[in-house]
Each structure stands twice: as structure tokens, then as C-alpha cells.
Structure 1
Amino acid sequence: MSLIVIASFLALAFLGMPLAFSLGVAALVGLWIAGFDVNVMAPRILNAVNSFPLMSIPLFMIAGELMLKGGIMERLIDFANAFIGRVRGGLAQVTIVSGAGLASVSGAAVADASALASTLVPSLKKQYGLGFSSGIVAAAANLGPIIPPSGAMIVYAFMAGSSVSVGGMFMSGVIPGILLFLTFMALCWFIAWKRDYPLAGQPITFSNIWLQTRRNLVVFLMPVIVIGGIVGGVFTPTEGAAAGVCYALFLGFFVTRRLKLADLPHVLLDAAKTSALVGAMIAFAATVTFLFTIDLLPMKLAGFMQGLTDNPFAFLCLIAVMLLLVGMFLESNAAYIMLVPLFHPVALQYGIDPLHFGFLFVLNLVIGMLTPPVGVVLFVICGVTGVKMGELVRESWPFIAAMYAVLLVCMLVPELVTWLPERLGY
């Protein structure tokens, strides 16, 4: 029964049907095969979406959109410029720094890709051409779901259940996020040196660094307040997201003064559309997960995996290969909702730390957002910049390889992921 449910969902998704619709049909097929009344769906759907932690997803989306509308992107670029200086690939590295700064307030790769592409590509392509410029933006945008706060980590924690906390997932991404950021910076310098791109940027001066730090300190207080409050137990992730919305409104209206009342309906509508899609998928996935449970699929899957290998690292490698293929064809939110309830319990049976496995799972699917044919970040950047998909993929592959290198290091050295959460009591 479980295999028929999965096949039904994948068939409809590949035919271009909306993912929530595909999950709903798959759930109905499973109920019919199992002989359950269709009315079983209603209470499970209601219980799945009647969740206080899930409210943090639309709130973080609203906060990110408000920051973008409020002109924070320009401030991040000025801040990055002050610290980079006149080096090879300077403007490319400014893009990576801006992407990391944007990630600390938005947590979504798609929104970051749109903001970075529309703001920075016109300047980037004058020095590097459209292809490399778009590839840099794609890499910078993919820092969004890794550096906290992260919408992807919230969805993972919700689907994994009580063994994983949102705060713990956030903290698991800090050290790998910094490592990934530094790797991208080094890669930009190397490519610029290899291709002999001209020097860019202004010389570093203490006065400019002080000016930009003082000017942007109020901006960088937002992730400190929101993430620090969540980790410190001052408020829940949902309350932290609500605090982020209030702070973003304050910045937009009173600090940058770029946010207008006329912008608010558009911001709320965009957040509502995305939230409704994610909520619908989670709702129907509750029925699908119920069918998997009564079919004993997690236990069968665990037995199958352990029959292949009893080595935890080998299991992680198998999951990485599977998620590489999944990420090429399936949108990431659908992958979390369908696969986390299956593989998270199996990972626990292998004795793998739940936060370690959760971070690796998220990073695998974040990489999938850059891999064709269904790399959603690639489609967003192509739509904004007009670059050809083939050229964008060709320029993005060094950054994809770098992300897989960081993934491998995190698999081999779990402490990179777990050390900080453990120090903070997760």
C-alpha cells in the first residue's frame, strides 16, 4: 500500500500537478486500498495544521519580506563593501556577504534569490558577465535555509516530532553555515584569480567600517533578538517570529523609512500564498504518514537499510545519494513532508544524533534547490536575470561541489553540527 501511495504522489507531481493536490490524491488512494472511510482524513488534517509552532513559518516569511521592502538589502551591500576592500572578486564576495546577512533575517532561499538577483546582478554582470554573476547569486541565496532562522529547519523539526527542537536545529546550522560561507568566499577569490577578473571595491578604511557598523547595528540586532530569544528560552519560535515581524516593521517605518503602508497588502498576500501551500501539504501529509504507520513502513524500511549495512556512516551516504536524486526532481518542502517521517526514525535506530541527521537532511535538500531539472532557485534566478539555464548550471557547479564538500565534512565530523546545540542544552 505504501509503495502505491508514493507512486501515486510522484506520478502526479511529475505530471505537473500542484504538490498539495498530489498528496491529497495519494492519501485518498491509500485510504481506498486500506479499506478506511474517507472521513478518517478530516480529524487528521485538522490536528496536523492546528499547531502553534507552525505559525512561525508565515511569520518568518512576513518578517523577511518586510526587511526586503524596507531597504535592508542596500544596507547589507554597503556593510559588506566596507569589509571586503579592493581584492580579486571583490563584488562577488560582497554578494556572498550580503547573502549571509540576508539569510540571518529571512531564512528562505527563494526570497533571497529574488532579492539578490534583482539588486546585485546589474552591477555584477558588468565585471563578470551574466553567467558567473547569476551563479554567485544562486550560491549566496542558498545560505538562506542553512544560517538561522530557517524555514526548512522549522518544517523538518515539525515533521520529525518531539526528538528535534526548532532551536536545536537553528543552532546546528551555525558552524556549518560559517564554514560554507568561508568556502564560498574562497571559491569566489579563486575563480576571479583564475579568470583574471579585475580588482573591485574600495580600499578598507577604519572610518568607513565604523560608519557602516554604526549605521547597520540596529539591523543586525534583529537576528540577535529573535534567535537569541528562542535559544535562551525567552520565547517560543512562533513568538520569536512575531517579534521579528514587529522589529521589521520598526526598521522599515522608522529607521530606513523605506517601508510604506501600501507595501503591507502585497507582503501579507505573498506570505499567505506560500503558507497556504505549505500548510496544505502538511495537512494531507498527516494522512499519508498515518497510512505509512499502519503499513509499518518505517519498520520495514529500517530492516531493509540495516540489511544493507549496519554502519551509520554508510547509511548516511545512502541517504545522501537518495536525496541527491530526490532533490533533482522533487520540490524540497514536499520532500521534507514525505521523507522525514520515514527516515528520521531509521536514523535513530542507527544511533545517529537526531540534530546531526536533521541538519544533513536539510543541507542535502538545500543543495537540491541548485540542481536541475527542478532546482527552484535556478528557475527564480533565470526568471529575474534572463540567463539561460545551461549557462547558470555550468557556473553554479563549483558552488554545488563546495556544498557537497561541506556536507561530507559534516558527515565525517558530527561535532561541527552538534557541538553548539549541546553546549546550549539541546
Structure 2
Amino acid sequence: MSLFVIATFLVLALLGMPLAFSLGVAALAGLWLSGIDVAVLAPRLMNAVNSFPLMSIPLFMIAGELMLKGGIMDRLVDFANAFIGRVRGGLAQVTIVAGAGLASVSGAAVADASALSSTLVPSLRKQYGLGFSTGIVAAAANLGPIIPPSGAMIVYAFMAGSSVSVGGMFMSGVVPGLILFALFMVLCWLIAWKRNYPLAGTPVTLSNILRELRRSLVIFLMPVLVIGGIVGGAFTPTEGAAVGVCYALVLGFFVTRKLKLSDLPDVLLTAAKTSALVGAMIAFASTVTFLFTIDLLPMKLADLMQGVTDSPFLFLCLIAAMLLVVGMFLESNAAYIMLVPLFHPIALQYGIDPLHFGFLFVFNLVIGMLTPPVGVVLFVVCGITGVRMGELVRESWPFIAAMYAVLLACMIFPGIVTWLPERLGY
């Protein structure tokens, strides 16, 4: 029965059906095949989304959209320019710095890709051509779900249950995110040096640095306030997201003064559409998970995995290989909702730290957002800039390789992921 449900979902998804619709049809097909009364569907759907922690997802989306509408990109670019200076590949490195700064307030790769493509590609294109420019933007946008706050980590923590906290997941991404950020900076310099791109940027001066620090301090206080409050226990992730929304409103209306009342309906509509899609997938996935449970699929998978290997590292390698394929063909939210309830308990049986496994799972699927044929970041960048998919993929592969290198390092050395959360008591 479980295989029938999975096959139904995959066929519909690969045919281009909406993911929530595909999950719903798969759930109904499973109920019909198992002979369970379809009346159980409605209460399960309601109970799945009747959750206070889930409210943090639309609130973080609203906060990110408000920050973007409030002129955050201009200040982030000016801040990056003041620190990078006149170096080879300087504008490319400014984009990576701006992407990292944007990641610390938005938590979503798609929103970051849209903002960076719209604002920076015209300037980048004059220096490097369209292909490399869009490759940089796609890589910088993919820092969004890694550097906290992260919408993907919130979804993972919710689907994994009480063994994983949102604050712990956020902290697990800090060190790997900084390592990945440094690798992207080095890659930009190496590619610019190899291709002999011209020097770009303005000379670094203390006065410029101090001026941009003063202008940008209010932006970077938001993640410090929100994430610090969540980690310190001052408020829950949902309350922290609400604080972020209030902060973004004050920043946009009274500090940058670029946010207008007319922007609010569009912000709320964007957040509502995305939240409704995620909520519908979670609701229908709860029924699918229920069907998997009564079919004993988690136990069967655990026995199968342990029959193949008793090594935690080889188990992680098998999961990474599976997620590499899944990320190529399935949207990441659907993958979290379908697969986390299956594989998270198995990872615990192997004695793998839940935060370590959670971060690796998220990171695998984040890389999938840059992998054709269903890499959502690739489609966003192509749609906004008009670059051909083949050209964008060709220019993105060094950054994808860097992400896989960091993923492998995190698998071999779990302390990269778990050191900071452990120090903070997670």
C-alpha cells in the first residue's frame, strides 16, 4: 500500500500537478486501497495544521518581504562595497556578502533569488556577462535556508517532532553557513582571476566603513534580536517571527522610509499564497504518514537500512545519495513533508545526533534547489534575468561543488554542525 501511495504521488508530481493536489490524491488513493473510512481525512487535515509553531512560517515570510520592500538591498550592497574594496571580482564578492546579509533576515532562497536578480544582475552583467552574473546570484541566494533564520529548518523541526528544536536547527547552520560563505568568496576571486575580469569596487576607507556600519546596524539588529531571543528562551519561534514583523514595519516606515502602505497587500498576499501551499502539503502529508505508519513502513525501512549497513556514516551516505536524486525531481517542501517522518526516526536508531541529521537533510535539499531539472532557484533566476538554463547551470557548477564539499565535511566531522548548538545547550 505504501508503495502505491508513493508511486501515485510521484507520477502526479512529475506530470506537473500541484504538489498539494498530488499529496491529496495519493492520500485518498491510500485510504481507498486500505479500506479505511475516508471520513478520517477531515479531522487529520485539521489537526495537522492546527499548530502554533507553524504560524512562524508565514510570519517569517512577511518579515522578509517587508525588509525587502523597505529598501534593505540598497543598504546591504553599500555595506558590502565598503568592506570589499577594489579587488578582482569585487562586485561578485559584494553579491555574496549581500546574499549572506539577506539570508540573515529572510530565510528563503526563492525570495533572495528574486531580490538579488532584480537589483544586482544589471550591474553584474556589465562586468562579467550574463552567465557568470546569474551563477553568482543563484549561489548567493542559496545561502538563505542555511544561515538562520531558515524557513526550511522550521518545516524540518515541525515534521521531526519533539527531538528537534527550531533554535537548535538555526544554530546548527551558523558554522557551516560561514564556511560556505567563505568558500563562495574565494571561488569568486579565483574565477575572476582566471578569467581576468577587471578590478571593481571602491577603495576601502575607514570613514566609509564606519558610515555604512552606522547605516546597516539597524538591519543586522533584527536577526540578533529575533534569533538571540529564540535561542535565549525569551520567546518561542512564532513569537520571534512576530517580533521580526514588527521590527521590519518600524524599519521600513520610519528608518529607511521606503515602505509604503500600498506595499502591504502585496506582502500579505505573497505570504498567504506560500503559507497556504505549505499548509495544504503538511495537512495531506499527515494522512499519508498515517497510512505509512499502519503499513509499518518506517519499521520496514529501518530493518532494510540496518540490513544493508550498521555504519552511521554509510547510512548518511545512502540518505545523501537518495536526496541528491529526490532534489532533482521533487520540490524541497514536499520532500521534507514526505521523507522526514520516515528517515528521522531511523537516524535516531543509528545513534546520529538529531540536529546533525536534520542539518544534513536540509542542506542536501538546499543543494537540490540549484540542481536541474526542478531546481526552483534556477527557474526564478532564469525567469527574472532571461538567461538560458544551460548557461546558468554551467556557471553554477563550481558553487554546487563547493556546497557538496561542505556537505561531505559536515558528514565526516559532525562537530562542524553540532559544536555551536551543544555550547548553547541544545
Give TM-score, length-normalised by structure 2: 1.00
Task: Tell me the CA shift for residue 414 of structure 1.
Answer: 0.3
**Once the two structures are aligned, what percentage of the paired residues are identical?**
86
Aligned mates of 2:236, 2:258 — CA distance in 1? 29
Q: What is aligned with 1:27?
A: 27
- 2:390 counterpart of 1:390: yes
Task: Tell me the CA shift for residue 128 of structure 1.
Answer: 0.4
- 2:412 counterpart of 1:412: yes
Alignment of 1:343-358 (within 5 A): 343-358=343-358
Alignment of 1:137-156 (within 5 A): 137-156=137-156
Task: Tell me the CA shift for residue 34 of structure 1.
Answer: 1.0
Q: What is aligned with 1:210?
A: 210
SS of the residue 2:145 aligns to: coil
SS of the residue 2:240 aligns to: helix
Aligned mates of 1:239, 1:47 — CA distance in 2? 21
- 2:71 counterpart of 1:71: yes
Task: Tell me the CA shift for residue 295 of structure 1.
Answer: 0.7
Q: What is aligned with 1:183?
A: 183
Alignment of 1:91-240 (within 5 A): 91-240=91-240
SS of the residue 1:146 aligns to: coil
Q: What is aligned with 1:56?
A: 56
CA deviation vs aligned residue, 1:310-351 (integer Å, no higher than 9, x gap): 111111011111000000000000000000001001101111
Task: Tell me the CA shift for residue 42 of structure 1.
Answer: 1.1
Task: Tell me the CA shift for residue 88 of structure 1.
Answer: 1.0
SS of the residue 2:207 aligns to: helix
Aligned mates of 1:363, 1:213 — CA distance in 2? 31
Aligned mates of 1:383, 1:284 — CA distance in 2? 30
For 1:233, the aligned partner's letter is G
For 1:337, the aligned partner's letter is I
Aligned mates of 1:47, 1:418 — CA distance in 2? 32
For 1:359, the aligned partner's letter is F
Aligned mates of 2:336, 2:371 — CA distance in 1? 17
Task: Tell me the CA shift for residue 115 of structure 1.
Answer: 0.1
Task: Tell me the CA shift for residue 166 of structure 1.
Answer: 0.4
Q: What is aligned with 1:84?
A: 84
Aligned mates of 1:425, 1:295 — CA distance in 2? 37
For 2:141, the aligned partner's letter is A
Task: Tell me the CA shift for residue 221 of structure 1.
Answer: 0.3
Aligned mates of 1:377, 1:415 — CA distance in 2? 29
CA RMSD of aligned residues (A): 0.4
Aligned mates of 2:179, 2:397 — CA distance in 1? 18
For 2:17, the aligned partner's letter is M
- 2:366 counterpart of 1:366: yes
SS of the residue 2:286 aligns to: helix
CA deviation vs aligned residue, 1:362-400 (integer Å, no higher than 9, x gap): 000000000000000000000000000000000000000
For 2:382, the aligned partner's letter is C
Aligned mates of 1:239, 1:203 — CA distance in 2? 42
Task: Tell me the CA shift for residue 44 of structure 1.
Answer: 1.0
Task: Tell me the CA shift for residue 306 of structure 1.
Answer: 0.8
CA deviation vs aligned residue, 1:125-177 (integer Å, no higher than 9, x gap): 10100000000000000000000000000000000000000000000000000
Aligned mates of 2:317, 2:20 — CA distance in 1? 29
- Structure 1 unaligned regions, length at least 5: none
How many pairs does the alignment contain? 426
Task: Tell me the CA shift for residue 43 of structure 1.
Answer: 1.2
Aligned mates of 1:337, 1:32 — CA distance in 2? 22
For 2:420, the aligned partner's letter is L
Q: What is aligned with 1:399?
A: 399
- 2:276 counterpart of 1:276: yes
Aligned mates of 2:268, 2:121 — CA distance in 1? 27
Q: What is aligned with 1:290?
A: 290
Aligned mates of 1:359, 1:135 — CA distance in 2? 24
Aligned mates of 1:392, 1:339 — CA distance in 2? 29
SS of the residue 1:257 aligns to: coil
Q: What is aligned with 2:14?
A: 14
Q: What is aligned with 1:315?
A: 315
Task: Tell me the CA shift for residue 407 of structure 1.
Answer: 0.2
Aligned mates of 1:10, 1:390 — CA distance in 2? 25
CA deviation vs aligned residue, 1:58-90 (integer Å, no higher than 9, x gap): 000000000000000110000000000111110
Aligned mates of 1:91, 1:237 — CA distance in 2? 35
For 1:198, the aligned partner's letter is P
Aligned mates of 1:296, 1:204 — CA distance in 2? 62
Aligned mates of 1:296, 1:345 — CA distance in 2? 13
Give TM-score, length-normalised by structure 1: 1.00
Aligned mates of 2:51, 2:182 — CA distance in 1? 37
Aligned mates of 1:179, 1:306 — CA distance in 2? 33
Alignment of 1:322-337 (within 5 A): 322-337=322-337
For 2:387, the aligned partner's letter is V
CA deviation vs aligned residue, 1:228-278 (integer Å, no higher than 9, x gap): 000000000000000000000000000000000000000000000000000
Task: Tell me the CA shift for residue 33 of structure 1.
Answer: 1.1
Aligned mates of 1:293, 1:424 — CA distance in 2? 34
- 2:261 counterpart of 1:261: yes
Aligned mates of 1:241, 1:94 — CA distance in 2? 28
Aligned mates of 1:331, 1:357 — CA distance in 2? 20
CA deviation vs aligned residue, 1:22-78 (integer Å, no higher than 9, x gap): 000000111111110001111111111000000000000000000000000110000
CA deviation vs aligned residue, 1:384-422 (integer Å, no higher than 9, x gap): 000000000000000000000000000011001001111
Q: Which runs of 4+ in 1 moved over 3 A?
A: none
